[in-house]
A and B are shown apart, each in its own frame.
Chain A
Amino acid sequence: MDNIQQTQAQKKYQQRVNERMPKSKIASQCLRAFIAGGLICCIGQAVRAFGAQTLQLDEKNVAAFTSIVMVFLGATLTGLGVYDKIGSWSGAGSIVPITGFANSIVSPAMEFKREGYVMGVGAKLFSIAGPVLVYGISASVLVGLIACMVR
């Protein structure tokens, strides 16, 4: 009996919290993510165009070149302490592109250097990017198998 009453008090409270708590401004944040994400992709496209036209790289190399440059930019801005400020403005807009991936690896590397290169940097480097890699690679294997069978 006591247990049921407790649950009702909990439910009532949780309902009140959900009704009154300040909500994220989804519309404006989507817009920001769109602008920031779009801008990062435009920069990526410009880098790609530079690789293809000025450096005369072929299709495969130009993709690698673009990734390398964008990861370098993301990592550098993280190291300079700028990327977290971009991230707090743009949200998913700067997390989803490859620069966000660089940020998620460089930020723990900077932070856990004090715990040493093995158990600090080594162990924590992929603490955020790890799940992305695990499921990303798993998905690619799965898709690969399906593609193989369909053929």
Chain B
Amino acid sequence: MKSKGIGKQTLVFTAPPHIVSAAAIVGDVEGEGPLADYFDVVLQDDIWGEESWEKAERKMFEHAVRCALDKAELTPAKLDCLLGGDLLNQIISANFAARELQTPFLGLYGACSTMAESLLIGSMLVDGGYAACVACAATSHFSTAERQYRQPLEMGGQTTPTAQRTVTGAGCSIVTDSAYAGKRVFNHVHIPAATIGRVVDLGITDAANMGAAMAPAAADTLCVHLGDTGRGLDAYDLIVTGDLGTFGSEMFLSLCGDRGLDVAGRHFDCGCAIFGLDQKVDCGGSGCGCSASVLNAYLLRRLEAGELQRILFMATGALLSTTSGMQNDSIPGIAHGVVLERK
């Protein structure tokens, strides 16, 4: 029997889990962006002394988890579970980082929605009493994503104006139950509810226009969430989307407008926020490291500081692969929503 869910897709946590610590690591280009001062580590170069970019990416994931644990004076042994993923085939970054961390591990793939997915499932584990302390993380890397999804880096060509740059970044949140008595970086951040997204596909086939492919999923999750909880938009200080970029955000606002929701004043897109206007990244940032690093470095701090009281964090994912793209399949999108509240 469903006792902790309301409406179609929303979960309500009876003992809202706490986010007690977080960390974010980004690459050099992100370090030139407007949020540079918030990140825990900004890499000098994106290979970080490793033999390959893939190894650098898994090191970023591992380091983000360790950094978040360190801040709360915890060790990996204290974690009941690590949840996370990345964009590479068979999520090797998360899997290989978990090999080093030696914690119980659930690997997740939600494309760029992974940060919200891991927070959502992590909160369920904690509220359900199956875990007292979990780490939720996600990572992505520009160079590994380019070589997997697109073309070699040194290949000379142009991007289309709707393209987005994959963020080199990793973020991790430490989620605990209310009995947690250890050191905290955040004293006030809770997760009272979450909405599991459904896959929405309005038939966009252009892999260089992923913002437009994901926008319908974000609009759907927002509407379902508001319907399930019976809340209006004014209950939220910010409606956060993961990586819609400038054009995807425009489509998101227009789709919300179709349903009578005027989100414009309270919309925040991590993909638009992470890079400056002078950085040549077309429509902005993408990748699961985008929402993961912006949430864990910037948004959680604003919640803790009391500048925000309640936000809906919706990381958005484009569920395509290189194979589905070549076979002319359209791009399904997904968005999971996690409510983050200051108490």
- Chain A residues within CB distance 8 Å of chain B: 9-11, 13-14, 16-17, 20-24, 29, 78-79, 81, 83-88, 91, 94-95, 100, 103-104, 106-108, 110-112, 114, 128
**Which residue in B157, B159, B161, B202 is a CB contact (below 8 Å) of A14?**
B202
Q: Is the CB of B156 within 8 A of A87?
A: yes
**Which residue in A14, A86, A111 is a CB contact (below 8 Å) of B152?**
A111
Judge whether B155 is part of the interface by a CB distance below 8 angstroms.
yes
Looking at A85, A103, A108, A111, the one whose CB has the most chain B CB atoms below 10 A away is: A111
**Which residue in A16, A21, A78 is a CB contact (below 8 Å) of B162?**
A21
Extra contacts besides A10-B201, A24-B161 (18): CB < 8 Å? A9-B202, A10-B202, A14-B204, A17-B209, A21-B247, A22-B161, A78-B154, A83-B154, A83-B156, A84-B155, A87-B158, A103-B155, A107-B154, A107-B156, A110-B152, A111-B147, A128-B152, A128-B155
Q: Is the CB of A21 within 8 A of B154?
A: no
Of chain A, the residue at the smallest CB distance from B52 is A114
**B48 CB to nearest chain A CB (Å):** 15
Task: Tell me which residues across on chain B come within 8 A of A20, comparing CB atoms.
Answer: 247, 250-251, 254
A84-B203 contact given A13-B216, A23-B161, CB 8 Å threshold: no
- Complex Cα–Cα for A128 and B152 (A): 9
Does more than half of chain A's interface fall in helix, strand or loop, or is it mixed? helix
Residues of B187-221 at the interface with A, using a CB-CB cut-off of 8 Å, are 201-204, 209, 212, 216
**Which residue in A10, A79, A86, A114 is a CB contact (below 8 Å) of B156?**
A86
Of chain B, the residue at the smallest CB distance from A86 is B156
A84-B161 contact given A13-B216, A16-B254, CB 8 Å threshold: no
- Complex Cα–Cα for A30 and B32 (A): 31
**A20 CB to nearest chain B CB (Å):** 7
Task: Tell me which residues across on chain A come within 8 A of B247, comparing CB atoms.
Answer: 20-22
